[in-house]
């Protein structure tokens, strides 16, 4: 029989876990309760695919912000994914163990830096550099993509390192025994064996990027329009909620909650995809 203290700890942990789940459920119910009536009233098509966002005139089209969110998220992934995966491959396969013990925790510390710090650096350093070199306002899709690319590095790199570490050493030894070089063994054997984990890391990084708010508000320019190039200013869905929720009322407020529903569903889909991929990899 378990001791009384073990049962007490078990029940406390169960209570904490259930409380966390309950809090998430309450948040989800509240968002849907506030946003669904608006979607039913305006229509999902008009809400998602209209380009006219003028709440004071009764127009609530979020299509430009959906496109801007996708541009910035994919741009961040183009910046962060190659750097994260290259760093993970080097640390796992080529770097000395001492470097792994030092560099990996240092990269993971980036996750603990407040996003406003990244945004401040983007405003003071990155945006003026882009404006001087490439033109445009500086505060743009490109600036937001670069900042987000740095911010998602810890997520992609940590999961990629774990995925590479899970590949059995016998795979590497077998490839080397057949005459492959170290790089050939990594490229043709290790990366293929770890591909599902690497993909899951990119999907989770994408979910992290699409939900970012403060840094994007500071560096994207927040123009409610369809971006024509990476040098144009743009406003994402998260930035729109944060900027307008403070003074929104009535239908305007409901429209922002409906925007939250869109974000909630997108992030849940991305997290579900990543979880499914990781679960499949665990059963291989």
Do 26 and 150 lie in one domain? The reply is no
Range name among 2-6, 124-128, 234-238 with the lowest pLDDT average: 2-6
Do 276 and 140 lie in one domain? The reply is yes
Q: Is residue 55 a part of any domain in this protein?
A: no
Give dist(CA 189, CA 192) in Å, integer. 5
- Token digits of residue 266: 């997108």
Do 43 and 109 lie in one domain? The reply is no
Do 218 and 252 lie in one domain? The reply is yes
What pTM was estimated for this model as a whole?
0.86
Q: Is residue 41 a part of any domain in this protein?
A: yes
Give dist(CA 137, CA 134) in Å, integer. 10
- Residue 184 CA, chain-centre distance (Å), reads 31
Do 73 and 41 lie in one domain? The reply is no
Give dist(CA 209, CA 77) in Å, integer. 8
Q: Is the pLDDT of residue 283 over 60?
A: no
Q: How far is CA 191 from CA 158, 185, 186, 234, in A?
A: 15, 9, 6, 36
Do 32 and 89 lie in one domain? The reply is no
Band of pLDDT at residue 278, cut at 50, 70 and 90: low
Supply the pLDDT for residue 282.
Answer: 58
10: containing domain: 4-48
Give dist(CA 278, CA 257) in Å, integer. 31
Do 144 and 30 lie in one domain? The reply is no
What proportion of the chain, given as a percentage, has pLDDT over 70? 97
Considering the chain, what is the average pLDDT of its residues?
A: 88
CA proximity to 212, closest of 151, 140, 258:
151
Q: Is the pLDDT of residue 2 over 60?
A: no
Q: Is the pLDDT of residue 269 over 90?
A: no
Q: Is residue 257 a part of any domain in this protein?
A: yes
Band of pLDDT at residue 136, cut at 50, 70 and 90: confident
Range name among 33-37, 122-126, 266-270 with the lowest pLDDT average: 266-270
- Give the tens place of pLDDT for each residue, 61-119: 999 999 999 999 999 999 999 999 999 999 989 988 888 888 888 888 888 888 899 99
Supply the pLDDT for residue 104.
Answer: 82
Q: Is the pLDDT of residue 284 over 60?
A: no
Range name among 14-18, 111-115, 189-193 with the lowest pLDDT average: 111-115
CA proximity to 204, closest of 153, 241, 142:
153
Q: What is the mean pLDDT of residues 161-179?
A: 89
Do 148 and 263 lie in one domain? The reply is yes
- Give the tens place of pLDDT for each residue, 19-71: 988 998 999 999 999 999 999 998 888 899 988 899 988 889 999 999 999 99
- Give the tens place of pLDDT for each residue, 138-158: 899 999 999 999 999 988 998
Q: Is residue 56 a part of any domain in this protein?
A: no
Q: Is the pLDDT of residue 237 over 70?
A: yes
Q: How many domains does the chain have?
A: 2
Q: Is the pLDDT of residue 218 over 90?
A: yes
Supply the pLDDT for residue 260.
Answer: 92
Q: Is residue 53 a part of any domain in this protein?
A: no
Do 126 and 214 lie in one domain? The reply is yes
Band of pLDDT at residue 132, cut at 50, 70 and 90: very high
Q: Is residue 11 a part of any domain in this protein?
A: yes
Q: Is the pLDDT of residue 281 over 70?
A: no
Do 74 and 36 lie in one domain? The reply is no
Do 177 and 258 lie in one domain? The reply is yes
């Amino acid at each position: 029989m378990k001791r009384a203290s073990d049962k007490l700890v078990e029940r406390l942990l169960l209570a904490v876990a259930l409380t966390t789940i309950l809090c998430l459920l309450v948040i989800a119910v509240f968002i849907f309760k506030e946003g669904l009536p608006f979607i039913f009233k305006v229509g999902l098509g008009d809400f998602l695919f209209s380009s006219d966002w003028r709440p004071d005139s009764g127009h609530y089209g979020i299509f430009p912000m959906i496109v801007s969110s996708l541009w910035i998220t994919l741009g961040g992934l183009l910046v962060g994914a190659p750097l994260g995966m290259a760093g993970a491959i080097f640390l796992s396969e080529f770097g000395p163990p001492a470097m792994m013990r030092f560099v990996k925790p240092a990269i993971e510390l980036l996750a603990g830096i407040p996003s406003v710090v990244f945004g401040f650096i983007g405003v003071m350093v990155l945006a003026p550099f882009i404006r001087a070199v490439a033109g445009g306002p500086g505060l743009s899709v490109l600036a937001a993509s670069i900042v987000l690319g740095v911010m998602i590095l810890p997520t992609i790199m940590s999961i990629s390192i774990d995925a590479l570490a899970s590949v059995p050493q016998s795979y590497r030894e077998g490839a080397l025994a057949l005459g492959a070089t170290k790089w050939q063994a990594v490229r043709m054997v290790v990366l293929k064996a770890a591909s599902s984990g690497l993909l899951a890391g990119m999907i989770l990084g994408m979910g992290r990027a699409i939900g970012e708010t403060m840094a994007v508000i500071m560096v994207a320019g927040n123009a409610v329009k369809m971006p024509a190039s990476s040098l144009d200013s743009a406003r994402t869905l998260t930035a729109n909620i944060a900027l307008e929720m403070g003074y929104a009322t009535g239908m305007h407020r409901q429209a922002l909650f409906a925007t939250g529903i869109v974000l909630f569903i997108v992030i849940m889909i991305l997290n579900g995809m990543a979880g499914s991929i990781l679960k499949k990899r665990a059963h291989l």
